[in-house]
Structure formats: structure tokens, C-alpha cells
Amino acid sequence: MAEKTIMLVCAAGMSTSLLVSKMQKSAEAKGVDADIFAVSASDADSSLASKDVDVLLLGPQVRFMKSQFEKKVADKGIAVDVINMQDYGMMNGEKVLDTAISLMK
């Protein structure tokens, strides 16, 4: 089992799948043991129920849902943030991974 679990949430779960693979490559290069996966906003609740998530990152297109997710995970101690729009647009897996790691500290 991975040391850290990072969940990305976007409108359909499609656009973040490329970002997930870039984040995984960056994690391997840094020696970070992480389970990184993407889900659609509609599937997020079931993933939160079935997985032990450390960080929840929202795609810029669903940033309006941040307060909803913060309320849902308030008792679980899960950090919630919105992925920087520029990093998301550039599919900068390393920067998004760095953001996720900084939120876990």
C-alpha cells in the first residue's frame, strides 16, 4: 500500500488522467510512494468512502465545489485545495505533486 494517497477530482475524470500519469512519473523520480488517482466529481463520494485519502485536489473547472468537499472531509483531516490553473493547463505533474506534498505536512 502506498504511503500517501492523492485524489484528483474533475468534471468527468478524463482531463486529469494525463496529469495523474505525469504526477506518478514525478513521484517515482522523487522517491515518493504515492497512490495518485482521478475521479469525476460525481464519483468522488464513493472514492472517499472506500479509500484512505490524504489530499484531495480539485481541477480548476470544479473549484466552485471546494467548500462542499471541505465540509465532507472536515472530520477526516483531508487537505483540500484547487489545482493551480496554469499548472493544470500545462499538465505540470511535478508542481501539482509538490503542492499535494506540501498540503500533507
**Which CATH number is 63's domain given?**
3.40.50.2300
Q: How confident is the model at residue 68 (pLDDT cuts 50, 70, 90)?
A: very high
Report pLDDT digits (tens) over 41-64. 999 999 999 999 999 999 999 999
pLDDT over 80 (residue 35): yes
Mean pLDDT score of the chain: 94
Residues 93, 38: Cα–Cα separation, whole Å: 13
Of 14-18, 66-70, 95-99, least confident by mean pLDDT is 14-18
Which pLDDT does position 14 carry in this prediction?
73
Number of domains in the chain: 1
Which residues lie below 8 Å from residue 40, measured CB to CB, with a gap of 6+?
Answer: 9, 10, 11, 12, 13
pLDDT over 90 (residue 2): no
Catalytic: which of 7, 10, 39, 83?
Answer: 10
Q: How confident is the model at residue 1 (pLDDT cuts 50, 70, 90)?
A: low
Catalytic, 10? Answer yes
Q: Name the residue range of residue 17's domain.
A: 4-103
Residues 71, 103: Cα–Cα separation, whole Å: 17
